[in-house]
Structure 1
Amino acid sequence: MLRSLSVRVMIALAAGLALGALAAAFGGADVKFAIGLIEAVGNLWLNSLRMTVVPLIFAVMVTGIAGVADAAATGRLAVRTLIWIAVLMTLSAVFALGFAQVFYAIWPVAGPGVAALRAGAVAAPEVAKAAPTFTGFVAGLAPGNILKAASEDAILPMVVFAGFFGFAVTRLPDGRREAFTAIFQSLGDVMVTIVRWVLAAAPVGVFALALGVGLRAGVGAAGVIAHYVTAIVLGNVGMTLVAYVVAMLGRVPLGRFARAVAPVQVTAFATQSSLACLPAMIERCRDDLGVPDRVSGLVLPLAVSVFRITGPVANFGVALFVTQVYGVHPSAMQYLGATLVAVATSMASVGLPGQVSFFASIAPICLSLGLPVDLLPILIAVEVIPDIFRTVGNVTADMALAAVLAKGEAGATAAVSPA
């Protein structure tokens, strides 16, 4: 069990919080000074993660868009698949906003535990930027200086530029396009390698940061972290239920779909990998849902490549939790921008390792809302729990999408007939 990085990180989190709280209660000035020195190691680890965000997101967006454009050229079914994916990902981001409003109205993030967690952040929270006007928001979508936008963490303009850049690459002749795409693929691979190196030290980094959190916050932060896990898990469960509704749009009876997807969900729960579930998804769609091979053979690999329906609701949900912790109230334009960033980064980060994609997907959303990212290293320590429900929701949506797209295709009568 200790071979699992996630388990080691969770142990480091618990140990850091506990030792920090003990130091606050019983330690003298020398102990607290020593913890401050150790916390500097945590800051170094955090900054090592931060430095990869901009190049990683840019690289994976360019290569992802180029790959999607190539897939779209395979025909009408691929185009329909991509349209459905874009619509469902946007729905997921909107669902996140609505769910957060209801959830935090019923169970507010409040009390001494919130103040404790906020006090334990590595840096003081930034104040959300002044609310932009709609005209200013539209004008700011295109960065006047992409390097300046990247250096100032203006993520949405950078994402827009990466989108245009990626589509422009697809217009190059085949040989040059492949060579150009390979460069950005290599850049993305290099960034992932760096992040993996940094994450290999995650137990040390999280322990160092948690010591500081425990020193300043005591044990009160533990309840707020449990609050966070509950919010993200329930958001993922809600989006999974939406996937069942999507399947019904393909005229698949609910019970039939539930029986077909259940074995795949068990695999997803155990592996936390949509890719590992792909063979089972293809088999269940063919045998239990009657989806033609030519439909499942295109839709499911494409869905695994660019579609994570729980991505926006979970990633946006993390950022919305951070707004609750800091009491920040972003403007409508900031929410709109964050919604676009949530969809774009969720699609761009598909295929990245879970802990890599956590920071690469959520940090841009936080920055677009004017939020600090200093809590993310603490939250990533408990990501193993929400990640189980993320994967279950994703494979459920992948099979639902295949069922919907089988509707109307020749030879798909078995998919739409009653059980």
Structure 2
Amino acid sequence: SGPLKDMDFSVQEGGGPRILHQFTLEPPAVSFRASGEKAGIIDIEPRTGILYINGSLDWETKQVHKLQVESLDESGNTVKGPYAVTIYVEDINDNPPEFDQKRYFGVVRQNSRPGKPFMHVHATDRDDPKTPHAQLSYSILHHFPNPYEEMLFQIDNATGAISPSRTGSYYLDPQKQDTFILVVFVKDMAGTTTNAFSSSVDVIIVVMESLWKAPPTIHIKENSTQVHPVNITKVRSNEPGVIYDIFEKEKLPRLPFSISENGDIYVTEPLDREEKDTYTFFVVTKDKGGELVDKPLQIHVIVEDINDNPPVCQKDLTVIEVQENEREGSNIGTVFAMDMDKKDTLNSRLQFHIQSQEPEFPMKNLFYVQQDTGTLHLAGRSLSKRESAKYFLKVLVTDPDFKTICDVEVHVIDINDQIPIFEKSDVSIFNTILDVPI
């Protein structure tokens, strides 16, 4: 109790009727009068000066009530006042948190980055946000189905952001399981006490195939005459707004590939298979802070051969020695040639033909060559050095588009196939006495 003056009171919401204060009368005052925001339950007893609440205040309805109190004389004239009486309503934890949807739906891509939110849940609490009564904490109560020891999803307990866990980033696969139901739990009092209010809601999550995947092996024909750069493939991140970049797997003088801001991959110049027949590089995505968003993708490029190389003779002149007594059909040697185009393709298939023989004596076609191996054989009878000591062959070597002449020189080697013969048939015989000086 006390004399009439400005006063402030703090009152917890709820709690029912109560007396706040008693003002004392000072003559000539005989009564009190209250006016203002009385909410139908706040008033003062005129004769005794008791300020009271006849009911329960509600913080969620009104947090502050402002009244004016004055004292009156017998004629009803103001003696003192009006004075300001302010009643502050204190919040108690009397409201459970409520989600803003009855059910949530979300979509997540396979191989999404762990910890990257793909959806949010949101709840509100009508209690005073400046107190723990309205501080909410989110958690996952149930996870259906849950095929692994660790949950595939996680939730930020403060923001309600849902993201794949590390396990989920690795194992989520729409071919195995495309729908999950999470029961998300929210508690007030920051989740620190068992006496907190709570609510729960179902979250339905659909898993979709990842957009971020490596294309099949890319095949590019060498020495293309197209205007470069030429688009060869495209990649697409699961996340919008990322920055695409390329880095090489192996150190090269130059990497003839580039990528656009939309994930289109280009070859920037004609390629030469004979210089390099395969390329392997990585495509990455980064956020604006330079942090990796997706796992690097490996891109594999094979340079396809075209027939752009002629046959080449292994030697400028192939010399083969053949003895006179070699029989018909004998293998006398091989003409070797090579082609720089891709091995075991028609572009590098070589065929051999004898274009000419010099001299054509004692007959043409003394030799033949196996068309696919270049092996030379005697076609007719044995050679004779007396007829010709050397033969000069021009062997035509062809692939499907090019041809080359290889020069071959055949040396005929003499053998001891003749008996000695005297020039004269009548020979005189002399007897010589030994040991007689001449």
Normalising by structure 2, we get a TM-score of 0.17
Give the number of the structure whose residues are more often helix, by fraction. Answer: 1
Bigger Rg, structure 1 or 2: 2
Higher RCO, Cα 8 Å, sep 6+? 1
Which TM-score applies when normalising by structure 1?
Answer: 0.17
Q: Is the strand fraction higher in 1 or 2?
A: 2
